[in-house]
Amino acid sequence: MKRRRFLQALSLPLAAAAAPSLPQELGVTTGSFMRHLSEHAQAGRLRLLDLPRYMRDELDMRVIDLMTATLVSLDSKYLEQLRKAAADCGCVLTNLKMNQKGLDLAAADETLRRESIAVYRRTIDAAVLLGVRWVRPLPGPKAPDLKRLAQSYRELIDYAGEKGVGVLVENFGWMQDDAEAIPRIIRAVGPDLKAQPDTGNWTDAARYDGLAKAFPLAASCDFKVRELAADGTHKAYDLKRCFDLGWQAGFRGPWCFEHFHTDLAQLFREMGQLRDMLRRWIKNSTP
């Protein structure tokens, strides 16, 4: 185990160096389109295979953060088709959120813990076919036994690292009211586990402190935006403050919008508003 971790540590910088850099890049999470997705072409609906073209032609962004529930299947032919569609449009598939239900990396039931690791390993194999650089397991339903959780994360990190894929942790579920959760988990697992803070997945009391502590450890960010008012304002929480906390911590991207609307055309328009807003903030923050 120690030898494998040592070799993995040597290989990670090489994998990172081979991947295109993503500072100041903007993108979307495919979870934003859950209610609009269709396997086949339909009026008023979106095929995930067509999202890269929309990213290029309508949104002028190139980063796509995937979620397992938005994939038609984990069949190799489909995954390779999606990877090619992204590459043909100049897009980058950066991350696969592994959101399979009923899994728990910190389960006291060893059978469930082993099954969770096995499912995630198979999904990491799919992530390799997609060409993503990270995967994110879904945090369990309740505050975990940290020792068991760290052991499971290490197994996934070792497995994914041998394939050139990193592992992320996102504030979710029990973590949402605990500003210390992300750094605590990373300290227990090791620095090769990186953060993917979600600006929306905090209670109001924990949000800004949680972001301030997670952003220095972040490889990517879900820039979650709730309902936008007609004038473009966001009443749920201070988006600019969320951005500033990341920028001040040295985080430069990718910033992946997670936003929702019942009307697909309006969703694309609002994604464009958010793109322009963050690009303005990035420009004004860059010396």
- Domain assignment present for residue 14? The answer is no
Give the tokens for residue 262: 């019942």
Q: The domain that contains 58 carries what CATH number?
A: 3.20.20.150
- Domain assignment present for residue 8? The answer is no
- Domain assignment present for residue 226? The answer is yes
What is the extent of the structural domain holding 28? 23-282
Helix (H), strand (E) at residue 9? helix 2-18
Task: Write the DSSP symbol of residue 237.
Answer: S
Give the tokens for residue 103: 């899994």
For residue 74, how many other CB atoms are within 10 A of its CB?
Answer: 16
Three-state DSSP state, 140 = coil
**CA 240 to CA 270: how far, in whole Å?**
16
**CA 213 to CA 182: how far, in whole Å?**
8
Q: How many distinct structural domains can be found in the chain?
A: 1
pLDDT tens, the chain, 287 aa long: 444 444 444 444 334 334 556 999 999 999 999 999 999 989 889 999 999 999 999 999 999 999 999 999 999 999 999 999 999 999 999 999 999 999 999 999 999 999 999 999 999 999 999 999 999 999 877 899 999 999 999 999 999 999 999 999 999 989 999 999 999 999 999 999 999 999 999 999 999 999 999 999 999 999 999 999 988 899 999 999 999 999 999 999 999 999 999 999 999 999 999 999 999 999 999 88
Give the tokens for residue 162: 């041998």
Please compute, for residue 232, the number of CA atoms within 13 A of its CA located in the half-sphere on the CB side: 11
- Domain assignment present for residue 1? The answer is no
- Domain assignment present for residue 287? The answer is no
pLDDT value of residue 20: 53
- Cis before 216 (ω within 30): no
